[in-house]
Amino acid sequence: MAATALELATRQVKCLSMFDFKPDTGCPKPETYRQLQQAAAALTEGEPDAVANMANVAALLGDFLPDLNWAGFYRVVDSELVLGPFVGRPACIRIPFGKGVCGTAAADVETQLVEDVHAFPGHIACDSETNSELVVPVVRDGVVVAVIDLDSPSLARFDDEDREGIEKLAEIISERI
Ligand code: SME
């Protein structure tokens, strides 16, 4: 359906506005995630373009979460995972369901919190600097539509607070990507 003049005007204002979402420094992790979720909700609200929304959320992940070397999305396209918007170095483009940490999260519809990627059978090493990884499926109407992938150069970088924070984020954006 064509956008109304008001919708177009609103989008125009959004483009011209500052999106200056910055994390407060020194917050406990749950508060950082609350701020990240709030920023992601605000940035994606009313925006129908999935790529734009994933790009902004990837940028927020990079800004809000310390000690990462990669953060972004793989989307489900024709029953495989295909690289989506991210921050970090160039990465593997296609990952079959069931392969690697991302493919396992997508196939099992289950978060994968990996303290040491070198001990994960079938881990796909896109970047030799990565030592730990958190992958959370994004589920819409009971179906996995994407995964959020976070990589860190530190061993055991992610814990249950990260898992909860990213799972909640996935829920918030599931209808917007
Ligand atoms: N390590 C992932 C591949 C994606 S990159 O980390 C960006 C995996 O094993 O699925």
Q: Give the start-to-end residue ranges of the domains of the chain.
A: 25-173
Between 100 and 13, the higher pLDDT residue: 100
Which of 73, 126, 127 is the best mutation target for the ligand 1 pocket, counting ligand atoms within 8 Å of the beta carbon and taking the most? 126
| Alpha carbon of 70 to ligand 1 centroid (Å) | 9
Structure tokens at 11: 């989008």
Would you say the CB of residue 84 lies under 6 angstroms from ligand 1? no
The answer, yes or no, to whether residue 6 has pLDDT greater than 60, is no
- The predicted pLDDT at position 24 comes to 82
CATH of 25-173, one of 3.30.450.40, 3.90.1150.200, 3.40.50.740, 3.40.1190.10: 3.30.450.40
| Alpha carbon of 101 to ligand 1 centroid (Å) | 6
Q: Whose CA is nearest to atom 3 of ligand 1?
A: 124
Encode 64-89: b = buried (16+ Cβ within 10 Å), e = exposed: bbeebbbbbbbbbeeeebebbbbbbe
Q: State the chain's mean pLDDT as an integer.
A: 92
- The predicted pLDDT at position 21 comes to 82
